[in-house]
Amino acid sequence: MANKFIRLADYKQYPESEMLERAQAFFQLMKTRRSVRQFSDKAIPMSIIDECVMTAGTAPSGANQQPWQFVVVCDRTLKEEIRIAAEAEEREFYAGRAGEKWLEALEPFETNPDKPFLETAPVLIAIFEQKFSMDALGKKVKHYYSKESTGIATGLLITALHNAGLVTLTHTPSPMNFLKTILKRPTGERPFLLLVVGYPAEEVQVPDITKKLLSEIRTIL
Ligand code: IYR
């Protein structure tokens, strides 16, 4: 199939001083992002969520297959079902499936199998990786780099939600197969992550943790 190319019309180059200022300002914004585990039940206008999901949809993906689906759950009953199923998995995880080392690594975060935020938060976004799709003739179309692509899109979604003034929790109850059943997702989709979205609860507390320094995460050769 011949590809059609168009001019890169929307690219904007800034003077270097402005580039640095923009990079600094964006870092200042992003370094205030924190995962929270206590949410307010205040509702979020769907238009805000939609803009953020559209931002996620700008992510690069293998062969531009855009192998992701963002299932936005606001329905009380579905949220309750998700909480019940997630807590059942988490109970087994904390009762031994995680193993001693993993539980030791989680100690500073004081996490436990109770996940009330899955019901309190106004929005849960269940993110699915589409490992393959079906073409018009019902034939399987393999997706390339679907996990990497969905990971990048999820990063953009978290960034967009933070920029909009919302808080998130990247929640990964393991295994997450219950999400496929509860949300009636088609074959070819694998639950990737459950993103809890909302406003922080009043007086919310977060763990006193720090990020690695530039010198620890960057190598110049
Ligand atoms: N999914 C569990 C455990 C958990 C695992 C990691 I790695 C974390 O960074 C945090 C929690 C839970 O949500 O409690």
Indicate the domain borders of the chain. 37-203
Q: What is the 3-state secondary structure (H, E, C) of 19-41?
A: HHHHHHHHHHHHCCCCECCCECC
Q: What is the pLDDT of residue 80?
A: 98
From 38, 91, 102, 172, give the residue whose CB has the most ligand 1 atoms within 8 Å, as the site to mutate.
172
Q: What is the pLDDT of residue 5?
A: 97
Q: Which atom of ligand 1 is found nearest the CA of 171?
A: 13
Distance of CA 52 from the midpoint of ligand 1 (Å): 24
For the Cβ of 172 lying below 6 angstroms from any atom of ligand 1, the answer is yes
Show the tokens assigned to 77. Answer: 């009953």
Which single residue is written with the structure tokens 């087994």? 92
For the Cβ of 164 lying below 6 angstroms from any atom of ligand 1, the answer is no
For the Cβ of 173 lying below 6 angstroms from any atom of ligand 1, the answer is yes
**pLDDT value at 1 more than 80:** no
Q: What is the pLDDT of residue 206?
A: 97
Closest residue CA from atom 6 of ligand 1: 106
> One-letter amino acid identity for 183?
L
pLDDT 10s digits, 29-69: 999 999 999 999 999 999 999 999 999 999 999 999 999 99
From 101, 106, 193, 195, give the residue whose CB has the most ligand 1 atoms within 8 Å, as the site to mutate.
106
DSSP state of 38: -
> One-letter amino acid identity for 164?
A
DSSP element (H, E) containing 197 = strand 189-198
Mean predicted confidence (pLDDT) in 71-75? 98
Q: From CA 66, how far away is CA 153, in angstroms rounded? A: 9
**pLDDT value at 3 more than 90:** no
pTM for the predicted model, two decimal places: 0.96
Average pLDDT over the chain, rounded to whole? 97
pLDDT above 70: percentage of residues in the chain: 99
Which single residue is written with the structure tokens 């193993």? 99
Q: Domain 37-203 falls in which CATH fold?
A: NADH Oxidase (3.40.109)
pLDDT 10s digits, 160-184: 999 999 999 999 998 999 999 999 9
List C-alpha distances in Å: 167 to 18, 161, 197, 200.
Answer: 29, 7, 6, 6
Cβ atoms of 149 and 192 closer than 8 Å:
no
For the Cβ of 111 lying below 6 angstroms from any atom of ligand 1, the answer is yes
Show the tokens assigned to 86. Answer: 């997630």
CA-based max dimension of the chain: 57
